[in-house]
Amino acid sequence: MKKKCKNVINRMESSEEIEMLRAEIKELKEKLSRYTNNECHKRYKENNKEKILERAREYNRRYREKNKEKVLEYAREYAKKKREKECVKNENKKCIESFITH
């Protein structure tokens, strides 16, 4: 008899806990929705498209000036991967062999 009572109590506690967690999840989702892409963000991006692009260009320019070596390294890696993809795509055996030897 005692075992059944404990099970019933545990089930009640767990169901209450589940409901409490569901309410908390709902509340957190509502709070999060304020900060994710809503209509305000979309309108801002539409109205200030040029400003956003200019900021991005300025950031990229400053980054390239500070980290010239890194940018060159990234460009070399990108070019190498692009050539490898082209070789695989074209199934050019000479091209693939040249990558293996280098």
pLDDT digits (tens, 9 = 90+) for 16-71: 888 999 999 999 998 888 787 778 888 888 999 999 999 999 999 999 999 999 99
Flag whether 55 is in a domain. no
pTM for the predicted model, two decimal places: 0.43
Tell whether 91 is covered by a domain: yes
74 occurs within a structural domain? yes
Query: Residue 83 CB: number of other CB atoms within 10 A?
Result: 13
84 is a domain residue: yes
Note down the domain range covering 75: 67-102
Rounded to 5 degrees, what angle do the CA atoms 28, 11, 14 make?
20
The total number of structural domains that make up the chain? 1
Q: Is residue 3 part of a domain?
A: no
Q: What's the pLDDT tens digit per position in 75-89?
A: 999 999 998 888 877
Continuous segment of H or E residues that includes residue 4: helix 2-35
**Is the residue at 71 inside a domain?**
yes
pLDDT of residue 7: 60
Distance, CA of 59 to CA of 95 (rounded, Å): 37
Task: Output the pLDDT for position 62.
Answer: 94
> Higher confidence at residue 27 or residue 6?
27
- Rounded to an integer, what distance in angstroms lies between the CA atom of residue 87 and that of residue 43? 44
Q: What is the pLDDT of residue 40?
A: 80
